[in-house]
Amino acid sequence: MDLHKLTIKQAKDALKKKEVTAEQLTKACLNRIQALEPKLNAFVTTLGEEAISEAKKADQKIAEGVDLPLLGIPVAIKDNFCTQDIRTTASSKVLDNFIPPYDATVVVRLKEAGVVILGKTNMDAWAHGSSTETSDYGLTKNPWDINYLPGGSSGGSAASIAADETIGAIGSETAGSIRQPAAWCGVVGLKPTYGRVSRYGVIAMGSSLDCPGPIAKTVEDSAIMLQVLAGKDLFDATTSPKTVEDYTKSLSNNIEGLTIGVSDDYFTGVEDEVKQKVEDVLKEFEKLGVKIKKIKLFDPKYAIAVYTILQRAEVSSNLARYDGIRFGNDRSYFGEEAKRRIMLGTYVLSAGYYDQYYSKAQKVRTVIVEDFNRAFKEVDVIVGPTSPSVALPLGSSKNHPMFGEMADVLVEPSTIAGLPGISIPCGFTKNGLPVGLQVIGPQFSESLILNVAYKYEQATNWHKEKPEL
């Protein structure tokens, strides 16, 4: 049995039946990481002996009959989540030697659920980008073809899952940074409703947009992880007090009679092969008894302008704390992308331009929210391509300051509106690159979008495909 290839569900079952130990699982993943990292560079920091020590503790708990949701499951964590006594860089040399004195709430909940942390994954520096090429620790490569990008900013997490270096992974999304790399790497990426998962201890980029979530091998694994992560957090006032549903139980719900909305605007400028794969998906959904309905949504291009203004403004505020005095290195260590975003953000917030840009963008954001609310009165979920293209060649983001916004154009509107969305694999191009399908739902409809995605996943075999490495 190739232990590193197991899903979370399979690993949980094997551990419960005593067919495998957490130590064996962890060593299998660490060996896989050691073998592939020279080729992929998905990790910034790897925990070797520390991870094995935690796995042994998990095995002891299992022997004592302790039952935790993720006990003994090896996971990788994006390097913008604070991890106590473990280096956390956000892939920027500014934080090259930063050792947090506390854990992010997401990390606390994962630890309480029994995970074994394998290491911290590579990302675009400060999460600025959709390629992982802005990392100060070298770019990550796509496991399906190492001449291509994995997407970003959670490129390391997505690549590590696609390459079976880990059993589960955590990412964060501000405008596509979970779903887009998941699509490009052929894995499952779940972006929850804004406020469903705590942001406490996440190195902030766009505070009104940032959203942690799982990147996994299957929809079921995503549901298992979200069950652990979701819920109110006293350290984050933006988290919702809404009751956390049983996400794994909802996977068995019937989707017959549901109405899926499809907007032509989400197919404009999309590569032909991606369009064809999504159209094939719609036919599959019809076989499952789902009604397909054409709807009209605002052209996603409007979200680019709104996101660019709001996100840059929040970046200029959030990065102001990195002055080299309290922690980290001084500002001379900032990369070019961070500098660009700080300057543009400062500009749109400056006297004389605040009303012209920032205030107007906030008003358009409200209009986008209302547009989705109107659409969800007609349909249950909205389906479309996750990204207008499949993975692009290495170097594609160079000298392209709007690369991220263009790569994320189809996911930005739902992020701006705070909606949940999931990307799942739905096929491959003739060149063997994965195509991603996204399912978007109303706020706090995670159970619904997981159920819809799960039913499609079970009707196909795309999630079982593995890259040759």
Task: Grade residue 399 by pLDDT with cuts at 50, 70 and 90.
Answer: confident
Q: What is the pLDDT of residues 16-57, one digit of tens each?
A: 999 999 999 999 999 999 999 999 999 999 999 999 999 999
pLDDT at 19: 97
| pLDDT at 402 > cutoff 80 | no
> Mean per-residue pLDDT for 399-405?
76
The reply to whether 377 belongs to the active site is: no
Nearest CA among 250, 183, 168 for reference residue 217: 168
53, 74 contact by CB (below 8 A): no
pLDDT at 280: 97
Asked if the structure places residue 110 within a domain, the reply is: yes
Query: Annotated catalytic residue: which of 9, 78, 120, 455?
Result: 78
Query: Annotated catalytic residue: which of 153, 198, 263, 414?
Result: 153
Task: Grade residue 400 by pLDDT with cuts at 50, 70 and 90.
Answer: confident
Asked if the structure places residue 224 within a domain, the reply is: yes
Asked if the structure places residue 80 within a domain, the reply is: yes
pLDDT at 404: 75
Q: What share of the chain is helix, strand, coil (3-state, %, to 5)?
A: 40, 15, 45
CATH assignment of the domain containing 42 = 3.90.1300.10
- For the chain, the average pLDDT equals 96
Asked if the structure places residue 469 within a domain, the reply is: no
Task: Grade residue 244 by pLDDT with cuts at 50, 70 and 90.
Answer: very high
d(CA 261, CA 16): 41
> Mean per-residue pLDDT for 405-431?
95
Place of tokens 């896989």: 32
Cis peptide before 252 (omega within 30 of 0): no
Query: Annotated catalytic residue: which of 135, 154, 172, 177?
Result: 177
Number of domains the chain contains = 1
Domain that holds residue 292: 3-464
> Mean per-residue pLDDT for 417-425?
98
pTM of the model: 0.97
Asked if the structure places residue 99 within a domain, the reply is: yes
87: burial class by Cβ within 10 Å (0-12, 13-18, 19+)? middle
27, 52 contact by CB (below 8 A): yes
Nearest CA among 351, 346, 353, 321 for reference residue 334: 321
How far, CA to CA in Å, does 244 sit from each of 169, 226, 231? 21, 9, 6
d(CA 381, CA 386): 14
> Mean per-residue pLDDT for 217-234?
98
Amino acid 288 reads L
Asked if the structure places residue 414 within a domain, the reply is: yes
Q: What is the pLDDT of residues 324-375, one digit of tens each?
A: 998 899 999 999 999 999 999 999 999 888 989 999 999 999 999 999 999 9
Asked if the structure places residue 387 within a domain, the reply is: yes
The reply to whether 208 belongs to the active site is: no
Q: What is the pLDDT of residues 271-326, one digit of tens each?
A: 999 999 999 999 999 999 999 999 999 999 999 999 999 999 999 999 999 999 98
pLDDT at 398: 85
Asked if the structure places residue 68 within a domain, the reply is: yes
The reply to whether 153 belongs to the active site is: yes
